[in-house]
């Protein structure tokens, strides 16, 4: 029996572009096993972000199938429990402090209890920001904001984390530290990770590296 936490088969996606049709994904296959880290690298416009939106259930493919843990249910409720998501632009709630932004992932599931509050504090500490727990996002550096986003993504003990260009707004040194932290925390938790990045050095840190070229996903050349 497969331990796949994510499976995509023959996934295609096109968009209208004036009078023409732009084929963005052309039959993508991907399987990610429990606890595995996979990087996807490619140039801008190659289809990486489109694929991530489909894998996250934020959009639907034109054809093909996507399943989480063997189930085709990729709805919002299951997404909140099954996936952790990290984006280039952080998407922290500006009115909430760092700790409350982490806890927000549990609030979406409606289960905020003492154990949840303890886990949020532990995750803030795990990303090295216990002294900044009650600072608002505007009071944090870009690297600190992304660390909080990582903690939030892990809050509900997801089987899978999807990270779309998580270092895109960071300088090289900070980006390297964020990738190392993300890989380390996912490995410690046994959480699978799909990391989309332009950075070849970051991509190489994953257990398995793939290359997206003109809507086709395969091994690097």
Mean pLDDT to the nearest integer, 6-13: 97
Q: Which tokens hold the place of 136? A: 């608002």
Mean pLDDT to the nearest integer, 24-48: 94
List CB contacts of 79: < 8 A, sequence separation 6 or more: 56, 57
CA distance 212 to 46: 6
Q: Which tokens hold the place of 152? A: 């939030």
Asked if residue 123 has pLDDT above 60, the reply is yes
Task: Say which DSSP state 84 is in.
Answer: E
Calculate ∠ Cα 183-191-174, nearest 5°: 20
Q: Give 61-98 pLDDT, tens digit per residue.
A: 999 999 999 999 988 889 999 999 999 999 999 999 99
Q: What is this structure's pTM?
A: 0.94
pLDDT at 63: 97
Give the distance from CA 124 to its chain's centroid.
Answer: 18
Q: Alpha carbon of 13 to those of 10, 43, 60, 90, 163: distances in Å?
A: 10, 18, 8, 26, 20
Asked if residue 2 has pLDDT above 70, the reply is no
Asked if residue 116 has pLDDT above 60, the reply is yes
pLDDT at 143: 95
Asked if residue 1 has pLDDT above 50, the reply is no
CA distance 213 to 19: 24
Other Cβ atoms closer than 10 A to 77:
10
Asked if residue 20 has pLDDT above 50, the reply is yes
E strands present in the chain: 4-17, 20-33, 37-41, 63-68, 83-87, 160-164, 192-197, 208-213, 216-218
Place of tokens 């904001």: 145
> In the chain, what are the domains?
4-218 (3.40.50.300)
| Nearest to 133, CA basis, from 108, 158, 105, 96 | 96
């Amino acid at each position: 029996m497969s331990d796949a936490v994510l499976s995509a088969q023959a996934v295609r996606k096109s968009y209208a572009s004036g009078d023409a049709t732009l084929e963005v994904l052309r039959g993508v296959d991907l399987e990610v096993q429990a606890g595995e880290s996979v990087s996807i690298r490619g140039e801008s416009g190659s289809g990486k972000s489109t694929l991530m939106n489909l894998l996250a259930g934020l959009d639907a493919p034109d054809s093909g199938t996507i399943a989480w843990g063997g189930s085709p249910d990729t709805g919002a409720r299951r997404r909140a429990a099954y996936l952790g998501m990290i984006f280039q632009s952080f998407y922290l709630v500006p009115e909430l402090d760092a700790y409350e932004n982490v806890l927000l992932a549990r609030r979406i599931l409606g289960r905020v209890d003492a154990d949840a509050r303890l886990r949020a504090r532990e995750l803030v500490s795990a990303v090295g920001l216990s002294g900044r727990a009650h600072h608002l996002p505007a009071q944090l550096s870009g690297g600190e904001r992304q660390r909080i986003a990582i903690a939030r993504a892990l809050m509900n003990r997801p089987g899978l984390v999807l990270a779309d260009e998580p270092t895109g707004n960071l300088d090289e040194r900070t980006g390297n530290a964020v990738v190392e932290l993300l890989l380390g925390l996912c490995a410690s938790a046994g959480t699978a990770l799909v990391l989309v990045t332009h950075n070849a050095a970051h991509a190489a840190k994953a257990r398995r590296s793939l290359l997206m070229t003109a809507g086709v996903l395969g091994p690097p050349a």
